[in-house]
């Protein structure tokens, strides 16, 4: 999300990213994002002059224009075009200039200090590092958006959002990022194939290791993953760590607590993935996200881990009769401290630059995107949930239905990792090490040792602004 296949975040696709190549946003240690264009005149805002009301809480002006840049990844951009129509139905005299790209950082970062776009979807592999944007004051706090009236319902905008959406976009006590897609991650399989063979999707690694020989006997690799972008396997690694070691272990990791990576349950979680690699259960090849997803659709692998943007991203090549179903990430079994927790959260982050010429219209457009009508169209078009409550109601689709089922049975705590949003260098190291582990070039113990060393380095560096995650 990202959440997108290019992302992160995490995102943060989520996210999703969220979070891939984030370190590349840093200009130099001495020259920050906003100082890169020192001497330029800030753009003047055209916000003032509109009359504020329930239908226009930010006072946008008739005759004004708002420039919007959408990340065109796995979720596409048609949903955003639908939201433009929703917005203009209420504000017909405001011009929405909308464009799409996959080069967010490349195209938008250089303009942040002078005259940026008004609203940017910050997602994909070419994402701007959110911690840098926040620390340098490059993006606008959006707390007033949360308290604004909902577009087409009762209560406030905040009241309409799924759990975790506000927390996912909050940094240093302020709300900066509106993640519009609610992504559920896990292990995908072909329900039609499993029904034909009489296979049950495993719930633990032991069940997977028991099923794997039967899968291999059919000439199918048990598992495939994106071996090019390190944030893809990292999602699965961190999900297993959470299930095995529990929430507090990941909170301690995010807060750079001493020896956090050595907590009980973390090494065994990584050793399960190490065994998957050593037992040669991965489809060979240095495949990226779309190549690995296509290999899975072609029946060359039984499982693939990714988020709920998958169906929309691969819609053009899904074979007839292929039944996309999502199962939860596997745990280790009886020793797990949080076996039922689901990896899900808001991604595909919208940000409003601090120097945007028309921040009022940008916020109003976000309000439209989060509307009931807008979010319902999002779910229909992308086969993925929006961050607005009830977006998937009435959408008939097996992929979305299994994701909804996971969420219905999920406890209050959702698997969530923040260090990749907090610290760009630690984000980069975790991606690199995830790739190395899944390539068989690094042991689980080596992963733990190297991540602890990287975390210690950041913790001891007074020049790095520290973030705190509440339990």
pLDDT digits (tens, 9 = 90+) for 245-290: 999 999 999 999 999 999 999 999 999 999 999 999 999 999 999 9
* Statement: residue 25 has pLDDT above 90: no
Residue 49: what pLDDT?
55
* Statement: residue 43 has pLDDT above 80: no
Which DSSP helix (H) or strand (E) runs through 11? strand 8-13
| Structure-token pair, residue 306 | 């990714």
pLDDT digits (tens, 9 = 90+) for 291-349: 999 999 999 999 999 998 899 889 999 999 999 999 999 999 999 999 999 999 888 99
* Statement: residue 44 has pLDDT above 60: no
Per-residue H/E/C for 304-337 = EEEECCHHHHCHHHCCCCCCEEEECCCECCCCCC
Q: Are strands 301-307 and 221-224 parallel, antiparallel or unpaired?
A: parallel
Q: Which residue has the tokens 């691969």?
A: 314
Distance of CA 142 to the CA centre of its chain: 19
Structure confidence at residue 167 as a pLDDT band (50, 70, 90): confident
* Statement: residue 222 has pLDDT above 90: yes
Residue 33: what pLDDT?
53
What is the mean predicted confidence (pLDDT) over 132-138?
Answer: 93
Check: CB of residue 25 under 8 Å from CB of residue 129: yes
* Statement: residue 232 has pLDDT above 60: yes
Q: Which residue has the tokens 């179903």?
A: 325
Domains located in the chain, CATH noted = 8-183+344-408 (3.40.190.10)
CA–CA separation, 238 vs 269, rounded Å?
A: 9
Strand partners, 96: 66
Check: CB of residue 48 under 8 Å from CB of residue 99: no
What is the mean predicted confidence (pLDDT) over 157-165?
Answer: 90
Check: CB of residue 227 under 8 Å from CB of residue 440: no
CA–CA separation, 332 vs 334, rounded Å?
A: 7
* Statement: residue 36 has pLDDT above 70: no
Residues contacting 183, CB < 8 A, separation 6+: 1, 2, 3, 13, 14, 15, 16, 307, 308, 309, 344, 345, 346, 347, 384, 385
Q: What are phi and psi for residue 71, nearest 5 degrees?
A: -75, 120
Q: Are strands 178-190 and 170-171 parallel, antiparallel or unpaired?
A: unpaired
CA–CA separation, 64 vs 47, rounded Å?
A: 8
Query: CA–CA distance from 455 to each of 11, 29, 40, 230 (Å)?
Result: 20, 19, 37, 18
Structure confidence at residue 50 as a pLDDT band (50, 70, 90): confident
Cα angle 66, 421, 45; round to 5: 25
CA dihedral 360, 361, 362, 367 (to 10 degrees): 100
Strand partners, 324: 190
pTM higher than 0.75 = no
Residue 392: what pLDDT?
80
* Statement: residue 162 has pLDDT above 80: yes
Q: What is the mean pLDDT of the chain?
A: 89
What is the mean predicted confidence (pLDDT) over 422-438?
Answer: 96
Structure confidence at residue 8 as a pLDDT band (50, 70, 90): very low
What is the mean predicted confidence (pLDDT) over 21-43?
Answer: 37
Check: CB of residue 178 under 8 Å from CB of residue 11: no
CA–CA separation, 185 vs 326, rounded Å?
A: 8
Q: What are phi and psi for residue 354, nearest 5 degrees?
A: -60, -30
Structure confidence at residue 42 as a pLDDT band (50, 70, 90): very low
């Amino acid at each position: 999300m990202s959440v997108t296949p290019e992302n992160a975040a995490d995102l943060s696709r989520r996210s999703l990213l969220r979070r891939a190549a984030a370190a590349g946003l840093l200009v130099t240690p001495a020259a920050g994002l906003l100082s890169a264009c020192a001497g330029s005149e800030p753009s003047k805002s055209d916000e003032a002059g509109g009359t504020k009301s329930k239908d226009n809480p930010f006072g946008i002006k008739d005759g004004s224009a708002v420039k919007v840049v959408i990340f065109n990844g796995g979720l596409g951009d048609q949903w955003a075009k639908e939201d433009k129509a929703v917005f203009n139905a209420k504000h017909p005299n405001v011009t929405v200039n909308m464009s799409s790209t996959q080069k967010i950082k490349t195209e938008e970062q250089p303009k942040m200090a002078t005259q940026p776009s008004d609203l940017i979807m910050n997602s994909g592999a070419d994402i701007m590092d959110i911690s840098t944007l926040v620390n340098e004051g490059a993006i606008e706090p959006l707390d007033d958006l949360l308290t604004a009236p909902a577009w087409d319902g009762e209560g406030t905008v905040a009241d309409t959002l799924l759990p975790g959406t506000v927390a996912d976009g909050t940094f240093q006590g302020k709300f900066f990022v509106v993640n519009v897609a609610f992504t559920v991650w896990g292990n995908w399989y072909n329900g039609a194939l499993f029904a034909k063979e009489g296979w049950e999707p495993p719930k633990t690694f032991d069940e997977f290791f028991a099923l794997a020989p039967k899968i291999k006997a059919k000439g199918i690799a048990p598992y495939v993953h994106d071996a090019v972008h390190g944030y893809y396997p990292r999602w699965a690694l961190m999900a297993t760590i959470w299930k095995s070691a529990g929430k507090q272990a990941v909170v301690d990791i995010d807060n750079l607590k001493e020896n956090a990576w050595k907590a009980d349950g973390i090494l065994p979680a990584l050793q399960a993935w190490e065994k998957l690699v050593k037992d040669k259960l991965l489809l060979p090849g240095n495949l990226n996200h779309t190549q690995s997803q296509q290999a899975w659709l072609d029946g060359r692998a039984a499982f693939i881990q990714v988020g709920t943007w998958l169906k929309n991203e691969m819609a053009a090549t899904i074979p007839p009769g292929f039944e996309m179903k999502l199962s939860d990430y596997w745990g280790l079994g009886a020793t797990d401290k949080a076996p039922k927790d689901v990896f899900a959260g808001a991604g595909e982050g919208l940000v409003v630059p601090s120097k945007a010429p028309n921040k009022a219209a940008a916020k109003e457009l976000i309000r439209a995107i989060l509307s009931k009508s807008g979010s319902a169209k999002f779910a229909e078009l992308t086969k993925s949930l929006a961050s607005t409550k009830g977006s998937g109601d009435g959408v008939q689709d097996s992929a979305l239905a299994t994701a909804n089922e996971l969420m219905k049975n999920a406890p209050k705590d959702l698997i969530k990792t923040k260090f990749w949003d907090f610290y760009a260098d630690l984000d980069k190291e975790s991606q690199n090490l995830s790739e190395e582990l899944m390539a068989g070039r690094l042991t689980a113990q080596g992963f733990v040792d190297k991540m602890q060393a990287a975390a210690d380095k950041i913790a001891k560096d007074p020049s790095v602004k520290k973030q705190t995650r509440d339990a």
